[in-house]
Each structure stands twice: as C-alpha cells, then as structure tokens.
Amino acid sequence: MKLLIVSDIHANLEALVAALAAPHDALWVLGDLVNYGPNPCEVVDLVRRHASLAVQGNHDYAIGNGAGPQCSAAFREMARAMQDYTGPLLGADRRAYLSGLPQTAARAIDGCRFFLCHATPTDPLFRYCPEDPAQWAPEIAGLQAEFVLVGHTHVPFETILDMRRIVNPGSVGQPKHGAPVASYAIWEDGRLSLHSRTYDVEKTAGKILALPVPMGIRGELAAVLRTGSPPLSNPTP
C-alpha cells in the first residue's frame, strides 16, 4: 500500500494535479482544500472523487460554516477577501461537504496506526505548532498511533518523539518554506518520506491576478505563490 498524504491545497488546482501524479494507491488529505486559490470548486470535486480519507482544516470549517478561520494578521485580510469570493462560488453542496469533514481521524494499515488532523491533536483546526518537541510532547500524550499526520503550518517536517513519528507534509498549494513547489508525503510499507514536485506557478498566479478581488490582495497572494514564502515574517496560516 502506497499512501499519498497532502495538506493545505488552498484551491490550487495545478499544484494538486502535480502532487496526484506521484504514484499512489490511496490519497489522504489533511485539510484546507479551499481559500486563497482560484479553483475551489475543481479542488473540492477532485478530492471528493479521489480521497479515501480527508479531515477538516480551519479554512474548510470557516467556509463550510460561515465563520472566521482565525488567521494571523499577515493573512487575515487575504483570507477574508477570498472567503467572500469562495463561499458563494462553491454553492451549498460543496460547502456542506466541507462542513461535514471530520476534524480528526484514526486508521490502521499493515499494522501501523495513524492519527490525522489539520493543526494539532488538542486543537485540530487552529493551533500553530512548529517542529518543536517541547510543544509537541503534550499534544501526542496518550495517542495510540505510530504516525501523527498534521498540516496547517505550510512547512514540511518530520520528527520522532516518544516512539511516534510526527509528520507534516507541507503545503501542496501555498508553501511557506521558501520553495514554490507542491509538497507532499508518501507512506509505503512502514516508511514515510517527504517529497515535492514543481508545477506551473505562473498559471496559478495568473488566475489569481484575474480574480474579482482587490488588486492588493491579488498581488500578495501571487507573491506568496511565486516565492513560496509568507508575506512579512509571520509563517502562521
């Protein structure tokens, strides 16, 4: 069994298609299918067709429930403007799908146990937790899993703590680790590895620049894609 594990697609169709080109038997999605990007409908439909498991991200929750995603100041205005665009475009059925996604999931494959969430086990939607063992130790206490799969930070990492491997595949559609690529993880036969693929960033940026949202918002979102880095110095999504 080969699992393709992705997170934080953010309505970036070109990046998702690039990641899906990686050979795999099953697709797991760690949340944030939508917002920021230009193709929310196509991304939701693609995930619905292909993913065997998906959990809810803070932007899925926000758009599915008409709530705020609790972004950092650096992304708050972008998120608000794009949510106003994305929500009506998705329609009731797709919003209901996002609203109905579980916030956590547990699976076992070939004797390996997995726990999945978007942010952290104690705060599945909103808490920003970087690769810091001191912060992760209380998060995984008591979890019955060998692999803890998370997203939300848009920065890939893996670390082993208390006999558990905590893995963040990074972001497919809006990376923030300095490389404009689609990041993902592959699990196969008990081994998990981080990967990335290039995609047509300029095609996605061009779509963003043509959206009916304020020019400043469009420019900032395109710059994040082109640089693979957050605006200013705040990496919180």
Question: Is residue 59 domain-resident?
Answer: yes
Question: Is residue 113 domain-resident?
Answer: no
* Separation of alpha carbons 233 and 237, rounded Å: 12
Question: Is residue 56 domain-resident?
Answer: yes
Partnered with residue 51 across adjacent β-strands are: 27
Q: What is the pLDDT of residue 236?
A: 41
Partnered with residue 166 across adjacent β-strands are: 148, 159
Question: Is residue 182 domain-resident?
Answer: yes
Q: Which domain holds residue 59?
A: 2-104+169-227
CB 53 within 8 A of CB 28: yes
pLDDT category of residue 116 using cuts at 50, 70 and 90: very high
Question: Is residue 87 domain-resident?
Answer: yes
70, burial (CB in 10 Å: exposed 0-12, middle 13-18, buried 19+): middle
Give 184-231 pLDDT, tens digit per residue.
999 999 999 999 999 999 999 999 999 999 999 999 999 999 999 998
Per the prediction, the chain carries an average pLDDT of: 95
Q: What is the pLDDT of residue 151?
A: 98
Question: Is residue 157 domain-resident?
Answer: no
Q: What is the pLDDT of residue 232?
A: 62
Q: How many domains are there within the chain?
A: 1
Question: Is residue 161 domain-resident?
Answer: no
Q: What percent of the chain has pLDDT over 90?
A: 91
pLDDT category of residue 235 using cuts at 50, 70 and 90: very low
Residue 206: CATH number of its domain: 3.60.21.10
Question: Is residue 222 domain-resident?
Answer: yes
* Separation of alpha carbons 39 and 12, rounded Å: 6
Give 20-58 pLDDT, tens digit per residue.
999 999 999 999 999 999 999 999 999 999 999 999 999
